[in-house]
Amino acid sequence: MLTLPFDESVVMSESQMCRKFSRESEDPKQIKKPESFGKQITHQGKSIKRLTVEDTEKEEVEDDREEEDENGLPRRRGLRKKKMTKIRMDRVKFRRQEANARERNRMHGLNDALDSLRKVVPCYSKTQKLSKIETLRLAKNYIWALSEILRIGKRPDLLTFVQNLCKGLSQPTTNLVAGCLQLNARSFLMGQTGETAHHARSPYTTFYPPYHSPELSTPPGHGTLDNSKSMKPYNYCSAYESFYESPSPECASPQFEGPLSPPPINYNGIFSLKQEEALDYGKNYNYGMHYCAVPPRGPLGQSSVFRLPTESHFPYDLHLRSQSLTMQDELNAVFHN
């Protein structure tokens, strides 16, 4: 039973030891603060680690007893043993610190990879980041949806696509994705009035399928898109382009081009498109702004409808992929024409 927490002297010895065993990559944020270390030890009151240290200390106490009981050779043995124990203990602690640092680095790398993934999935927001699990789920759905498109050779309707993307996602994430999609629908609407919609690299033509594909299964319990409301084709290549900063070889494919027609206003309660707002998009929205969406108050029920506000006051900014000055220039050029 260890009742002695790591005191200052222990921490000091550790820091000294850290200097002695200098690390190759010393990131300041990776270096454990002495106070946090002490806190950590305190929090470990019931942990195995504590028992280990306790055992070690007990061993030291026994060594001391040996040292007191005997003189001469046995004492030297005892001293030697005690010295070895302390070194071993220091070494164990140091290696534990090293392992912790490596683990932190590893997790940081994992988080960086997750951030990269967040940027290439259909919905990306700097301020309203998808959680790790939601990012993975959305990425999985996205890959699956795209592979289905490749397999079937037809683009699905918007609703099916959205539903596939949102399978298994939480309601807030679904809202977020729907918000992103709606924003794309906005620019989609806008494209009806101008030729920008045909711009292969327009970042706001992120995705939208032009027609209904019966081959693509719709999850049970979900509605279907009204076929009379066909959609302008969406650009599947945005992720590719944003990632590689070059046009996707797929983008020039004529199969992604299709007729323009009005977008749907409401998709069975998943979200709604307010056409009148979209038509005023060019007046009211600056394309250099952060795309934002307002989450509904309270949890969304089945009857909940995702809506964009009339005014552009949003709690979080949704960045469509490849949002850049180029995009702003493109759009400004459109509206100035």
Partner DNA sequence: TAGGCCATCTGGTCCT
Partner DNA sequence: AGGACCAGATGGCCTA
Contacts to DNA by CB under 7 A: 29, 32, 36-37, 40-41, 43-44, 46-49, 52, 95-104, 106-108, 111, 129, 131-134, 170, 295, 298-299
Please, what is the minimum distance in Å from the beta carbon of residue 13 to DNA?
A: 15
The residue type of 192 is Q
Q: Return the sign of the alpha-carbon dihedral for residues 304, 308, 314, 320.
A: positive
Please, what is the minimum distance in Å from the beta carbon of residue 270 to DNA?
A: 20
Distance CA 68, CA 79 (A): 10
Please, what is the minimum distance in Å from the beta carbon of residue 313 to DNA?
A: 16
Our CB check for DNA shows the closer of 111 and 326 to be 111
Return the number of other C-beta atoms located less than 10 Å from residue 133's C-beta: 12
Please, what is the minimum distance in Å from the beta carbon of residue 148 to DNA?
A: 26
Our CB check for DNA shows the closer of 175 and 184 to be 175
Please, what is the minimum distance in Å from the beta carbon of residue 256 to DNA?
A: 33
DSSP 84-150: HHHHHHHHHHHHHHHHHHHHHHHHHHHHHHHHHHHHHSS---SSSPPPHHHHHHHHHHHHHHHHHHH
Our CB check for DNA shows the closer of 41 and 216 to be 41
Our CB check for DNA shows the closer of 111 and 261 to be 111
C-alpha dist (Å) from residue 144 to 124, 291, 292:
18, 26, 26
Return the number of other C-beta atoms located less than 10 Å from residue 121's C-beta: 23
Please, what is the minimum distance in Å from the beta carbon of residue 43 to DNA?
A: 4
Which of 23, 39, 41 is closest to 31 using CA atoms?
23
Our CB check for DNA shows the closer of 46 and 283 to be 46
Our CB check for DNA shows the closer of 81 and 104 to be 104
* Tokens matching residue 141: 């759905």
DSSP state of 151: H
